[in-house]
Structure 1
Amino acid sequence: MDIITSKDNEVYKNLKKLKTKKYRDLEGMFLAEGRKFLEFKETPKIIIFKEGVSEEIIEMAKDHDCRKIILTEKLFKELTSQENSQGVIICYNSKINELENLEDNIVILNRVADPGNLGTIIRVADAAGFKDIILTKGSVDCYNDKTVRSSMGSILSMNISYIDENEVVEFLKEKGYKIVVTALEKDSVPYTKMKLKEKNAFVFGNEGEGVSQDIIKSSDEKVIIPIYGSAESLNVAMATGIILYDVRNRLENR
């Protein structure tokens, strides 16, 4: 196991660069932090330990056949994104996801901006049995450290792709998807009354602005989640969970 003590070490400098989206895109790699990621079967590219990390964590990493390095506490502190780190960071190859072989029910995220929201959506979509998420370009990077952390590992098993906003409707129509958007419009219906077809794309929008008007106008059905109390609205991740679990329930009972 290599021990890195200098900030001028090339491996260390390259790992630090992965904290930026530009370099993640360029290198096709991203960082995930925490012992939880050692429990997944996905093969890491590198496992990085903090000097003095517990033997339990080192033991957990033995099942992974990859390069392992130790950083001094000072260097690790510059790499971690957590205040109370568990002392292990995993470097993975990014998945090359394509807009082919999609399942019949998919999730579309239109300019979702908050990394924590995206991570939670990835997690809840995975839990509800959805495997495909398409984000319109301009949405937050799915490999942002907060997104990866909030996904609790689900990012490793999801098919996540990006597409230009002005192309998404044409793409969905071409592939035969019914477009269902969450939108507060005059003709919106409660989500419990939406009608599913054989192939459906469920669209959720930006935290402040919702789904873009161009997508709303091109949609096949608009749905809302009724508010019965005094809350103004629901968080986009929560709204996504409510609707996806309703869809899952319908699919299971067809």
Structure 2
Amino acid sequence: MIYIDSKENNTFKKIKKYRTKKYRDKEMRFLAEGVKFLDFDTVPEYILIDKNYSENREILEKIKKFEKSEVIVLSETLFSQLSSQENSQGVILVYEYMENDINNISDNVIVLDRVGDPGNLGTIIRTADASGYKDIILTKGSVDAYNEKTVRSTMGSIFNVRLYYIEEETLLNLLKEKEYKIISTVLSDDCIPYTEMQLSKKNAIVFGNEGSGIGENIVNHSDEKVIIPIYGTAESLNVAMACGIIMYKCRELLSK
């Protein structure tokens, strides 16, 4: 273990920059906080431990399997500058971005058009993982998947799905070229209930921004538009909830 108690330490200064999207993207590194992340097999570049937890048996036992990771003990003051949680568990991990080739996407993909809330995205990633989806395509303008709140909300599922950020026009060309059926969830008079949707051999299920929904251009290129009926007085469903309902319905239809 290495002990760091100076804010001028170059390694600490480098890692601290990963809290901002600009430097995350530049260095292709992100932070994940919590003991839960030590349960996964994905090997972190660094394991950062709060000095107050440096003798915690659970943490010490779990980090044994990460022989290639650099373990750093930080003073309480320095650790607090990296932590994003009020009640931290005393451990933060630094991972490399997962690079994926969008040309190898599976036959059934989730598309998120400008989803803006990190908690929603984290929940969607977790739900996609649970319902058996491997690929999530996000249009430019969507929230950063490596935002610390998003990473935490995935509960580790970020390691089990493949994420891609692309421009809207590139997305539409890709789906057309690969002959995907585009199914969009929208609120309009010409929608059909999601229970009546017809899946094809290859399907792209699209969900939109929390406030403005799916962009008009994507809607116009959709092969089918579906809606989740509202039986009560609520105006709409949270996008993460809507994703969960439709992803599981699609999984049901695909299993038949």
TM-score range, shorter chain: over 0.9
Aligned to 1:39: 39
| Deviation by residue 1:23-64 (Cα, 9 ceiling, x = unmatched) | 011111100000000000101111000002122112111111
Shift of 1:134: 0.3
Q: 2:178 aligns with which of 142, 163, 175?
A: 175
Alpha-carbon offset, residue 167 of structure 1: 2.1
* TM-superposed deviation, 1:250: 1.4
For residues 80 and 230 of structure 2, what CA distance do their matches in structure 1 show?
44
The 2-side partners of 1:166 and 1:71 are apart by 45
Counterpart of 2:140, as a letter, is K
SS in 2 for 1:100: helix
User: Partner of 2:205: helix, strand, or coil?
Assistant: strand
Secondary structure of 2:102 counterpart: coil
Once the two structures are TM-superposed, the CA of residue 172 in structure 1 deviates from its matched residue by 0.5
Selected match of 2:59 from 32, 42, 57: 57
1:142 paired residue number: 145
Q: Distance in 2 between matches of 1:58 and 1:184?
A: 51
Deviations 1:62-106 (CA, angstroms, capped at 9, x unpaired): 111211000000000011000000000010011112212111100
Using the TM superposition, give the Cα deviation of residue 175 of structure 1 relative to its aligned residue in structure 2, in angstroms.
0.9
Structure 2: gaps spanning 5 or more residues: none
Which residue does the alignment assign to 1:13? Answer: 13
Q: Deviations over 1:156-207 (max 9, x none)?
A: 1110001101221111111110000001122100000000000000000000
1:24 aligns with 2:24: yes
Give the deviation of 1:16 after TM superposition: 0.4
Query: Which string of whole-angstrom CA distances, capped at 9 and with x for unpartnered residues, describes residues 122-160 of structure 1?
Result: 000000000000000110110000000000000011100
Aligned 1:35-184 pairs, distance under 5 A: 35-53=35-53, 54-65=56-67, 66-184=69-187
Q: Distance in 2 between matches of 1:184 and 1:178?
A: 19
Letter in 1 for 2:65: D
The code of the aligned residue for 1:42 comes to T
Q: How does 1:187-202 map to 2 (within 5 A)?
A: 187-202=190-205
Distance in 2 of aligned mates of 1:186 and 1:234:
17
Distance in 2 separating the partners of 1:167 and 1:45: 33
- Aligned residue in 2 for 1:219: 222
TM-score scaled by structure 2?
0.98
The more displaced of 97-106 and 139-148 is 97-106
User: Helix, strand or coil: the match of 1:68?
Assistant: strand
CA RMSD of aligned residues (A): 0.7
Q: Which amino acid aligns with 1:40?
A: F
**Letter matched to residue 34 of structure 2:** G
Where 2:244 maps in the other structure, the secondary structure is helix
> One-letter code of the match for 1:156?
F
User: Partners in 2 of 1:178 and 1:251 — Cα distance?
Assistant: 14
List, as ranges, runs of 4+ consecutive aligned residues in structure 1 with deviation greater than 3 Å. Answer: none
TM-score, L = length of structure 1:
0.98
Count of aligned positions:
253
Q: Distance in 2 between matches of 1:29 and 1:156?
A: 14
- The residue type equivalent to 1:88 in the other structure is V
Distance (Å, rounded) in 2 between the aligned partners of 1:139 and 1:92: 21
